[in-house]
Chains A and B, each alone.
Chain A
Amino acid sequence: MLKIRSICLLQRRWKSGAKKRWNVLQNKKNNCDRALENFDDFYGSVYGSRWKNMRAALLTRHKYIAMVNNFGDTEQTCSMLEMDGAINMKSLINLALGRQQETTDTMPEQGKSRHEIESKLDSLLRKQQEREVAHIYPSSAEDGSATTLPQQLKYDNSQETQTEDVNQPIEQSLTRALEEDYRLDEHRLVDPQFGTGGLYEYMPAHSIKGMEDWVAESEHYKYYKTNADFPLTIEPEASFYFPEHLSLYTYEMGNCSDFKGPKKCLTGVLSHYLMDGASTLPPLFLQVKPGERVLDACASPGGKSLLMLQTLHLDQLVCNDVQESRINKLRKVLQEYLFDYKDRWACKRLIFSQSDARNLDQYEQFDKILVDVPCTTDRHVLNAQDNNIFKPTRIKERLRIPELQAGILANCLRLLRPGGSLVYSTCSLSPIQNDGVVHMALQKVFTEYGITATIKDLSQQTSLFSDIFKFDHPKGLKYGQMVVPFLPANFGPMYFSKITRNM
């Protein structure tokens, strides 16, 4: 074929589009770099020397699990996957179950070493605050006059409001802090004889110019609270069964082979769905039983919803997501995988709803809820530039994530029928977005609605999966379990916590 490039003579300097000067190269810092820097700092101090293993795994491509579509040529697909050397997860679980019955030694109890993580976060918060202060007052550290430095930066002109803050111990809300940013000092008068030009330049002396809009990174770390002023019980989950009709295929630890792409089956649907292995755990631990009404609060792109449908247990599944585009994506996936979608599924057993999960109001209507909240999606932000939450313009959104997550989780607790249970999951390693949010939400539902809940300790159950996944148990986790990225089994990260609403 005739190529344009081989005809036209291109000057050498035009050939390489990018500049190669050192200062151009040095200044190039993209969203992924920003995310990595943040993680190095944060997770480095939380996980210590284990962080580097997770770091390498996060930056390397991840491993998939194949979920066989029960509405396609199931047996054919299973045999194809088995021919490629994949193993059915069900058989692995059964083996592990047998092994567990033989050796009934006690598992270490959850939350023993959580003090470790609290102190780490504390010191991290302090370090971050110091760094922010040093960033604004760079000279003071050098000339030694650090005595008058503020402990932490105040961006919200809070001199006069500070006293009120002490009187009414409302929990610190980032949203509120942001709103106050805009309230400038309006009490002073400017003499017109000096010209009104000064008005535009005027800033009250106790706030830092150019920083009115600023959000301190350290605000984020304050979400992790530890004082429990609500009744909290943690009890081990009693039973676990693997859904009879669900076939998940995976390669053993250390085997990095790829799966073949899905094919079209005789029934017109695709043969199998490839998803991150760790994403299968939250819906599995939700333990959906026949005849239950289930909500997937943040459903898109639909892997977890599809898994629950593949158990063939569901009576009705409500899939909710906040954006229409995400709902469309979800609908497309389900259409591709469910046989006779229009006649048998849409609007009957499968209901789509588009709303913010914090505003759903079908209270006490659901038996099971899957709360897979939006999070920093640690693997995604390190590897993809677009839709990256570490984009500088999204800093407020990023720092407010725990608040959003806690809001969603608290509302979902209200949607649960008493006795019903939900699984909260994130794909982040951050203890703030994980245990911190569970804590905040439990506190909120107790103080505002008087709802109490029980945390289910899944450590007994996760040990069944330890041949496939690497768990971060029991180090530092209070309320849940976490799959950590590990090169030979590069799944996750995935945190999940099972919460049952008390009767």
Chain B
Amino acid sequence: MIRKLVFNAKVVLKQQPKFQLVKHLATNSESPKIVQLQQIHIDEAVKLEPNLSIFTSEVWRRAHETFQNHGLETGNFLRIVTGNPGVLRRTPDKIINSLEIWRACQFGENLLHLLLTKYPELLDVSDSHQLLSHIGFLKSRVSTSKNVWKLLMNSPDVIAQPEEVVEEKLNLMVDVMRLEVPEIVKSCALTLPFEELRCRHAFLLRLGLFKPRPLKADPDEPTTNPKLYQITDTSEKTFATKICHVTLPEFEAFKELYAKELEGKSRRSKEAEDLSDDED
């Protein structure tokens, strides 16, 4: 399920233009707030997502009613079903259930609706206990619910990553890169694999473009370091040429060399450990 979720999150990111269209459609209809689900809406949605054609109008009406009862407007409902057609297959009880799971995270109704509309796949989460403990863990690291929400808005696959993985990345950003929480939640850094994050950071360090802040420096003091979102939310080419001002071959060579360096280091430390154990 989790893998599916991650995958879907990526698909959704690609589908953003489609949503714009639906939104356009929603706002273009007679009133700014549509409360009635009309046939024209369904037709448009089917055009965007052909899989939706199998559902009867009764199913549509029922699902729409359920969402509406929970405060989601028709426009949002349409975006959710086009993004995640599986929702329509569920009984109202199940839908309510998953909405309740998310409501328990206490992001606030408005923000929750934004989150679910952006990533309808999040409705596939079924294990409330696991989700809540994961959200609790995230909250302990980024301090407020709002920050957790921001984090999810930028990198929804965080909830699918094991705690240790997220912890490792957060530790790197907080302890080594010495970044503040607001900067972390503003970027998609957590979607990046740990190795990639570490490699980009190391490259900037060696270029002399990223200076670790002094340990007791004022966090509000502006730095000349590139912003985290510039480091993580860029393609390899943009990162190399625009942020590091080097050529792409140089960055590629560095990635290879750095991986080898780390491999050699871990092998050496392992050997040293074995050796010292032998001596014992």
Are B257 and A254 in contact (CB-based, < 8 A)?
no
Are B206 and A56 in contact (CB-based, < 8 A)?
yes
User: How distant is the Cα of A23 from the Cα of B280 in the complex, in angstroms?
Assistant: 34
Question: How many A residues have CB within 8 A of the partner chain?
Answer: 26
Give min CB distance, A266 to chain B, whole Å: 31
Give min CB distance, B159 to chain A, whole Å: 31
B203 at the interface (CB under 8 A from A): yes
Looking at the complex, which of A127-135, A341-349, A482-490 is the stretch in contact with chain B? Answer: A482-490
Are B253 and A488 in contact (CB-based, < 8 A)?
yes
Bitwise interface map of A from 52 to 68 toward B, beta carbon under 8 Å scored 1, else 0: 11011001110000000
Give min CB distance, A9 to chain B, whole Å: 15
Contact of B206 among A26, A49, A59, A486 (CB under 8 A): A59
Give min CB distance, A11 to chain B, whole Å: 18
Are B208 and A487 in contact (CB-based, < 8 A)?
no
Contact of B250 among A22, A51, A53 (CB under 8 A): A53
Give min CB distance, B141 to chain A, whole Å: 19
A384 at the interface (CB under 8 A from B): no
Bitwise interface map of A from 106 to 122 toward B, beta carbon under 8 Å scored 1, else 0: 00000000000000000
Are A55 and B277 in contact (CB-based, < 8 A)?
no
Give min CB distance, B42 to chain A, whole Å: 55
Are A22 and B277 in contact (CB-based, < 8 A)?
no
Give min CB distance, A278 to chain B, whole Å: 16
- Residue of A with least CB distance to B280: A4
Which B158-208 residues have a C-beta within 8 angstroms of A? 203, 206-208
User: How distant is the Cα of A258 from the Cα of B259 in the complex, in angstroms?
Assistant: 13
Query: Taking A3-B277, A5-B277, A258-B260 as contacts, is the C-beta distance between A488 and B249 under 8 angstroms?
Result: yes
A125 at the interface (CB under 8 A from B): no
A256 at the interface (CB under 8 A from B): yes
User: How distant is the Cα of A159 from the Cα of B208 in the complex, in angstroms?
Assistant: 42
Contact of A55 among B208, B253, B260, B261 (CB under 8 A): B208
Which A461-482 residues have a C-beta within 8 angstroms of B? none
Give min CB distance, A61 to chain B, whole Å: 5
Which A1-54 residues have a C-beta within 8 angstroms of B? 1, 3-5, 22-23, 25-26, 40, 44, 49, 51-53
Are A52 and B250 in contact (CB-based, < 8 A)?
no
B245 at the interface (CB under 8 A from A): yes
B43 at the interface (CB under 8 A from A): no
Give min CB distance, B211 to chain A, whole Å: 10
Are B209 and A487 in contact (CB-based, < 8 A)?
no
Q: In terms of DSSP, what is the predominant structure of the interface of chain B?
A: helix
Give min CB distance, B257 to chain A, whole Å: 5
CB neighbours of A258 from chain B (8 A): 260
B93 at the interface (CB under 8 A from A): no
Are B277 and A61 in contact (CB-based, < 8 A)?
no
Give min CB distance, A7 to chain B, whole Å: 10
Are A56 and B207 in contact (CB-based, < 8 A)?
yes
Are A487 and B254 in contact (CB-based, < 8 A)?
yes
Are B207 and A53 in contact (CB-based, < 8 A)?
yes
B246 at the interface (CB under 8 A from A): yes
User: How distant is the Cα of A487 from the Cα of B260 in the complex, in angstroms?
Assistant: 14
Are A256 and B206 in contact (CB-based, < 8 A)?
no
Bitwise interface map of B from 204 to 219 toward A, beta carbon under 8 Å scored 1, else 0: 0011110000111000
Are B207 and A55 in contact (CB-based, < 8 A)?
yes
Give min CB distance, B177 to chain A, whole Å: 15
User: How distant is the Cα of A254 from the Cα of B248 in the complex, in angstroms?
Assistant: 11
Contact of A22 among B215, B253, B260 (CB under 8 A): B215
B100 at the interface (CB under 8 A from A): no
Are B207 and A487 in contact (CB-based, < 8 A)?
no
B258 at the interface (CB under 8 A from A): yes
CB neighbours of A61 from chain B (8 A): 257, 260-261, 264
Give min CB distance, A64 to chain B, whole Å: 12
- Residue of B with least CB distance to A258: B260
Are A56 and B280 in contact (CB-based, < 8 A)?
no
Are A3 and B207 in contact (CB-based, < 8 A)?
no
Give min CB distance, B271 to chain A, whole Å: 15
Are A487 and B253 in contact (CB-based, < 8 A)?
yes
CB neighbours of A25 from chain B (8 A): 215
Are A49 and B245 in contact (CB-based, < 8 A)?
yes
User: How distant is the Cα of A379 from the Cα of B277 in the complex, in angstroms?
Assistant: 33
User: How distant is the Cα of A487 from the Cα of B261 in the complex, in angstroms?
Assistant: 14
B109 at the interface (CB under 8 A from A): no
Query: Taking A22-B216, A60-B258 as contacts, is the C-beta distance between A488 and B206 under 8 angstroms?
Result: no
- Residue of B with least CB distance to A4: B280
Contact of B215 among A5, A26, A40, A486 (CB under 8 A): A26
- Residue of B with least CB distance to A53: B246
CB neighbours of B209 from chain A (8 A): 52
Are A254 and B207 in contact (CB-based, < 8 A)?
no
User: How distant is the Cα of A60 from the Cα of B207 in the complex, in angstroms?
Assistant: 10
Are A256 and B216 in contact (CB-based, < 8 A)?
no
B256 at the interface (CB under 8 A from A): yes
Query: Taking A55-B208, A60-B261 as contacts, is the C-beta distance between A3 and B280 under 8 angstroms?
Result: yes
- Residue of B with least CB distance to A22: B215
User: How distant is the Cα of A84 from the Cα of B264 in the complex, in angstroms?
Assistant: 20
CB neighbours of B214 from chain A (8 A): 26
Bitwise interface map of B from 242 to 280 toward A, beta carbon under 8 Å scored 1, else 0: 000110011111101110110010000000000001001
- Residue of A with least CB distance to B204: A56
Give min CB distance, A40 to chain B, whole Å: 6
CB neighbours of B208 from chain A (8 A): 40, 44, 51-52, 55-56
Are B215 and A256 in contact (CB-based, < 8 A)?
no
CB neighbours of A53 from chain B (8 A): 207, 246, 250
Are A56 and B216 in contact (CB-based, < 8 A)?
no
CB neighbours of B245 from chain A (8 A): 49, 52
CB neighbours of B258 from chain A (8 A): 60
Are A60 and B215 in contact (CB-based, < 8 A)?
no
- Residue of A with least CB distance to B259: A256
Give min CB distance, A118 to chain B, whole Å: 25
User: How distant is the Cα of A146 from the Cα of B9 in the complex, in angstroms?
Assistant: 64
CB neighbours of A23 from chain B (8 A): 215
Most chain B C-beta atoms within 10 Å of own C-beta, residue among A25, A56, A488: A56
Give min CB distance, B198 to chain A, whole Å: 14
CB neighbours of B246 from chain A (8 A): 52-53, 56, 487
The 8 closest A-B pairs by CB, nearest first: A22-B215, A4-B280, A56-B206, A487-B253, A487-B250, A488-B253, A59-B206, A52-B207
- 23 CB contacts below 8 A, A to B, read A4-B280, A5-B277, A26-B215, A44-B208, A52-B208, A52-B246, A55-B207, A56-B206, A56-B208, A56-B246, A56-B250, A56-B254, A60-B206, A60-B258, A60-B261, A256-B253, A256-B256, A258-B260, A487-B246, A487-B250, A488-B249, A488-B250, A490-B253
A residues contacting B by CB (< 8 A) are 1, 3-5, 22-23, 25-26, 40, 44, 49, 51-53, 55-56, 59-61, 254, 256, 258, 486-488, 490
Known: A3-B277, A56-B206, A56-B246. 12 other contacts (CB 8 A): A1-B277, A3-B280, A4-B277, A26-B215, A44-B208, A52-B208, A52-B245, A56-B254, A59-B206, A487-B250, A487-B253, A487-B254
